[in-house]
């Protein structure tokens, strides 16, 4: 199926590697992840066009039809310019309890080293059971959402899927370590046609502001553009979070604005 957005195109590629089901329904693509039903952005509708007049309630109804037992709502728009739709649509979405989440899709074909690289940590692949357990724990320690039983289950399943993709040969997971303790981690997965996409870049709160995250991204970028055989590296960033400045300093350029619309489960 044809997807215009580089962000969503790589999202769907990665989801497919993890066992997600993709169904082209014409006006939208249905994305289902049976192995992790709590994963909002593994269970969503990707629309081919922005919102028109009257689309808000209709698209919310589409989601309920496709995911009748889901407690969340997640909708994407396959566009590159960040245009949500007709005038007034954001107010309609807000009134319906939805949040519009813009992300910046970034790309590079070079690996620029950080200005102040960290040299005290050890940078290597995530490989052992103990390594992957620390990746799971790091998900919890860096969470921006409430860490409840549901979030723990989601994170456990996400880690298992990430490990399966790596062990199937679709990419690598990298870690920065202080001795045996994981300080930061990320994934880099390959489409086999020249693209590589970063996943889940995270640094423990106690290890931030030491250059560890930027050094780890550069380490993985160097691998991706050499041994990994990629021509272009893709990373998706929150435009309002400080990490985007780090990615720009490492050679990543803003390419697209990706839009997601979500309604969390009722509390």
Q: Is the pLDDT of residue 124 over 90?
A: yes
**How high is the pLDDT of residue 264?**
94
Q: Is the pLDDT of residue 144 over 90?
A: no
**How high is the pLDDT of residue 145?**
85
Whether residue 169 lies inside any domain: the answer is yes
We report the CATH number of the domain holding residue 95 as 3.40.630.30
**How high is the pLDDT of residue 95?**
96
Whether residue 258 lies inside any domain: the answer is no
Give the residue from 73, 103, 133 where a domain finishes: 103
Whether residue 266 lies inside any domain: the answer is no
Give per-residue pLDDT as tens, 161-212: 999 999 999 999 999 999 999 999 999 999 999 999 999 999 999 999 999 9
Task: Note whether 135 and 226 are same-domain residues.
Answer: yes
In percent, the amount of the chain with pLDDT more than 90 equals 96
Task: Note whether 216 and 157 are same-domain residues.
Answer: yes
Which residues are CB-neighbours of 236 under 8 A, at least 6 positions away? 7, 103, 104, 105, 106, 198, 258
Task: Note whether 80 and 144 are same-domain residues.
Answer: no
Task: Note whether 24 and 91 are same-domain residues.
Answer: yes
Task: Note whether 96 and 174 are same-domain residues.
Answer: no
Give the residue from 103, 131, 162 where a domain finishes: 103
Whether residue 89 contacts residue 54, with contact meaning beta carbons closer than 8 Å, is answered with no
**How high is the pLDDT of residue 125?**
98
Task: Note whether 126 and 222 are same-domain residues.
Answer: yes
Cα–Cα nearest to 47, from 19, 24, 81: 24
Task: Note whether 98 and 127 are same-domain residues.
Answer: no
Whether residue 185 lies inside any domain: the answer is yes
Whether residue 253 lies inside any domain: the answer is no
Task: Note whether 126 and 225 are same-domain residues.
Answer: yes
**How high is the pLDDT of residue 15?**
94
Give per-residue pLDDT as tens, 209-235: 999 999 999 999 999 999 999 999 999
Task: Note whether 75 and 142 are same-domain residues.
Answer: no
Whether residue 251 lies inside any domain: the answer is no
Whether residue 240 lies inside any domain: the answer is no
Show the domain range for 136.
Answer: 122-230
Domain count, the chain: 2
| Angstrom distance (rounded) from CA 198 to CA 66 | 29
In percent, the amount of the chain with pLDDT more than 70 equals 100
Average pLDDT over residues 32-51: 95
Whether residue 175 contacts residue 185, with contact meaning beta carbons closer than 8 Å, is answered with yes
Task: Note whether 195 and 153 are same-domain residues.
Answer: yes
Whether residue 63 lies inside any domain: the answer is yes
pLDDT band for position 267 (cuts 50, 70, 90): low
**How high is the pLDDT of residue 162?**
96
Give per-residue pLDDT as tens, 87-118: 999 999 999 999 999 999 999 999 999 999 99
The three-class DSSP label of residue 188 is: strand
Cα–Cα nearest to 39, from 139, 134, 151: 151
Per the structure block, which two tokens stand in for 197? 């996409």
Task: Note whether 132 and 197 are same-domain residues.
Answer: yes
């Amino acid at each position: 199926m044809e997807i215009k957005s580089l962000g969503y195109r790589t999202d769907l590629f990665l989801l497919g590697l993890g066992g997600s089901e993709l169904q082209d329904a014409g006006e939208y693509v249905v994305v289902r992840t049976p192995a992790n039903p709590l994963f909002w952005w593994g269970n969503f509708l990707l629309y081919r066009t922005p919102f028109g007049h009257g689309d808000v309630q209709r698209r919310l109804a589409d989601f309920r039809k496709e995911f009748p037992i889901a407690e969340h709502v997640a909708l994407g728009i396959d566009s590159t310019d960040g245009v949500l739709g007709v005038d007034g649509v954001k107010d309609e979405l807000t009134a319906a309890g939805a949040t519009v989440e813009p992300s910046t899709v970034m790309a590079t074909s070079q690996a620029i080293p950080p200005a102040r690289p960290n040299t005290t940590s050890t940078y290597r692949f995530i490989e052992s059971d103990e390594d992957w357990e620390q990746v799971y724990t790091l998900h919890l320690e860096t969470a921006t959402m409430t860490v409840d039983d549901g979030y723990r289950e989601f994170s456990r399943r996400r880690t298992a899927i990430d490990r399966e993709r790596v062990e199937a040969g679709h990419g690598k997971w990298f870690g920065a370590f202080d001795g045996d303790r994981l300080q930061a981690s990320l994934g880099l997965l390959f489409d086999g046609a020249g693209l590589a996409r970063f996943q889940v870049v995270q640094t423990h709160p106690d290890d931030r502001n030491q250059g560890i995250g930027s050094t780890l991204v550069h380490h993985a970028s160097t691998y991706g553009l050499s041994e990994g055989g990629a021509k272009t590296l893709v990373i998706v960033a929150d435009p309002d979070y400080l990490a985007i400045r780090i990615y720009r300093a490492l050679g990543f350029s803003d390419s697209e604005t990706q839009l997601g619309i979500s309604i969390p489960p009722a509390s």
